[in-house]
A and B are shown apart, each in its own frame.
Chain A
């Protein structure tokens, strides 16, 4: 007799069978516990989609000057914080300082030097665009390519590059157990500037980045250089200098799905999405108002039971485009990724990625930004190991990234980063010299 496919499941739940097989029951219970527990937290993909779809326009607002606390959860906060994050962002002594939503003007010449001849090809790749402005000034919700267009605007946003960024990263487990602290500096420059390249002759280059670790000592001196190209189909180039080897090594840029250096993020999670457009399917889910740390006063302290999330920070209600990303690769760890991108500035506020195995939350990130024009009257914190002149940032009219939270919900574990970002303008000669292979053949030691 053919056994019914569900007979085992039936057996598990039937009383007789439970008595007969207590061990099976115990194992099944233990195996299911983490999943059930997370499902109970409302961290499924479907729960987030329901939250997105069921916006509550009446209460999607917060008064400037108000301090939102746990008591405001149902009345205000649940409408403005994406549901997948509630578990971490709502805690007993939480304190969110609310400021008025503002407009943040882009640089004066933004959009004035764009090369005219560019388009999206059939797989959503932007072809012929060389920067200088947003490629898509208007986003139409009915446009079948609206999702890709929002993300293209995010990838070419003002302020994405041209900075010195000393960083400190804390890796914490539950209850705030500190596993590791890392210090490193990223320096980044835009080559593609619309109608010209910063370094004539390098028109194929979009941007270059050098990142060097400073501590702990087992990582100190490790240095990475990466080049992104204007042609999105061309894979990024990367080199890694390891002091123990005393030479650079070519790296594989197309591997973007493994966690890096113990951090709770993958390379593709960078700023919500740092991968290749053509490797994903895109859906525009509309706009939602969310709370965002878009213009914090300084690098926020971390709070909550595990010290994972910004505490006593300044938040603002922002209109955000909501984008659904579905990786095409069968072996990708995510089934879905949902990104909340600011509708005015195109900086990412929130990202949630769901495990392909069960559609439960796997990773999320949330970003802290500061508008450059506020650096003069309200400078951010200095890095613990270098002092910078933050007045250099004033006048650029861009956002600077002051850090982020990355949470792996399944471990569970979190990575909190403070970025002490300051604008930097490279001359063509200096950029050519600094972002060169020559600069990668030796390092701190």
Chain B
């Protein structure tokens, strides 16, 4: 009885704290050492067809509750306000938990076939301890580590994989990075010769490898189903004029995390030289993009085409440098630069490629890839549009190049289509074709502009534009956020995919094919957030 009452008392105390917070603007404090904050968000996405607002259908009704907490258990050398902590100056424990329920799964009958896959998520996403022993600091636990100067494209920001299952990469990456168990240590060095503010950072991921997550089940709204039929899978192979049944066996070849030799890790040396921020980075890990090796393929005695494939995540070596520089006199801009060379990038090789292009005969290779990103940030006055505040304009030019390129490299935009034999479509038989030839050089340009309006800056518009000059595919996002009250934030946004000409998909997931029938990813989004 006593225990029961005690629990009830705890619950009341907790709820009182939450309720009390509704009358203040601040983080919820429990005692002097624990802080809680978070939000509850209702996120509704309607996808539209190629013509805006036509054929709208609700795809997501993602309701998220996120709770973030920090426990200051060691301050100024004293642990738990009692014990001397020796050389440790400060320590905190941080956690971030997320619960998601997508009610679209209960509204849409068509989602029934998904067996609730993607409907719910309950996770302690991050949980780590920070320990400060100047000049050393440690962060131990499940966490995100972000390197590099690039926004929303992967070059050095490859330590945590991405969960692209529910909305591709269109969300804030903070919310879709998959936190990993790792140790992050930093030695604050300071000045060395002409280098200032230097530090050395080492990360170690002993046994937590995860690949990028991509949904493939139809009708999940952001399932990756290539560019052809979205609701059918290939079940046949056409050899000559004969159609054969297709049987695919997949072997999971992901690295065994338990092996000591499968550890991942890296280092970063960062500092300032002549007002230029720079870093030198190295990461030794596994590719989070999964490749496919064909182990065997051929017709059996019954005339079926059997293939055994193994999914693989090869070892990668990522070497990179970054720099940023604030040029205040002539351009009043901040220039950002990031460049990497990565070995071990998995690529597919077209069926029927000659031996020189497919020496292992498994339609799989690893390539070396370089990336150069050049970006400019500029607070810019446009008095005609806003006389009180600047627009923050940020633009990036991103160039990726396959250093060991061959003409038979294929991308991932396969095309499932009805099987046609001798000019006739065969009912219920589908073949997969991959004509997505990879270009040696890939480019994308991004531009974003944001500012605030209203006396207190409560209206926050955002404009985003991404353009692939080779495929001419483009993407626009237009968003308006309104800070309605101390707790309530509303947002409306529109995502649009379009192209200037041609039909090349390009490598980035841009272009009008994403607005067309079947795929349809032009989206209208409404969000209501209660924050505390």
Contacts and interface: CB of A to CB of B under 8 A. Distances in A.
B454 to A, nearest CB: 8
Nearest to A242: B174
A220 to B, nearest CB: 6
A413 interface: yes
Contacts of A214: 26-27
B37 A217 contact: yes
A217 B135 contact: no
Interface string A378-405: 0000001101000000000000000000
B68 A245 contact: no
A179 interface: yes
A216 B531 contact: yes
B501 interface: no
Given A255-B390, A258-B388, A445-B126, A179 B458 contact: yes
Contact of B328 (A171, A252, A442): A252
B25 A387 contact: no
Contact of A436 (B25, B37, B145, B188): B188
Contact of A171 (B94, B145, B456): B456
A387 B199 CA distance: 33
A411 B455 contact: yes
Q: By CB atoms of chain B within 10 A, which of A217, A253, A384, A408 has the most?
A: A217
B235 interface: no
Interface in A249-264: 249-255, 257-259, 261-263
B174 A244 contact: yes
B458 A252 contact: no
B191 A183 contact: no
B272 to A, nearest CB: 7
A144 B190 CA distance: 42
Interface stretch (B244-252, B308-316, B373-381, B510-518): B373-381
Given A171-B456, A181-B486, A262-B458, A252 B377 contact: yes
Interface residues of A, number: 54
A173 B455 contact: yes
A433 interface: yes
A218 B490 CA distance: 12
A253 B70 CA distance: 31
A246 B146 CA distance: 6
B328 A254 contact: yes
Given A249-B377, A253-B326, A258-B388, A218 B483 contact: yes
A250 B191 contact: no
Contacts of B134: 429-430, 433
Interface string B191-213: 10000010101000000000000
Q: By CB atoms of chain A within 10 A, which of B32, B68, B455, B486 has the most?
A: B455
Contacts of B201: 441
A432 B191 CA distance: 10
A15 interface: no
A245 to B, nearest CB: 7
Given A180-B483, A218-B483, A250-B326, A385 B27 contact: yes
Contact of A432 (B190, B324, B389): B190
A267 to B, nearest CB: 11
A253 to B, nearest CB: 7
A433 to B, nearest CB: 4
Given A201-B191, A235-B326, 16 more contacts: A214-B27, A215-B27, A249-B324, A249-B334, A250-B334, A252-B326, A252-B377, A255-B332, A258-B381, A258-B389, A258-B390, A432-B190, A437-B270, A437-B271, A441-B270, A445-B96
28 contacts: A180-B458, A183-B25, A215-B26, A217-B531, A245-B174, A247-B147, A249-B324, A250-B324, A250-B334, A250-B336, A252-B326, A252-B333, A252-B334, A254-B326, A254-B329, A258-B389, A259-B388, A262-B454, A262-B457, A384-B24, A429-B134, A432-B135, A433-B132, A436-B188, A437-B197, A441-B186, A441-B201, A444-B70
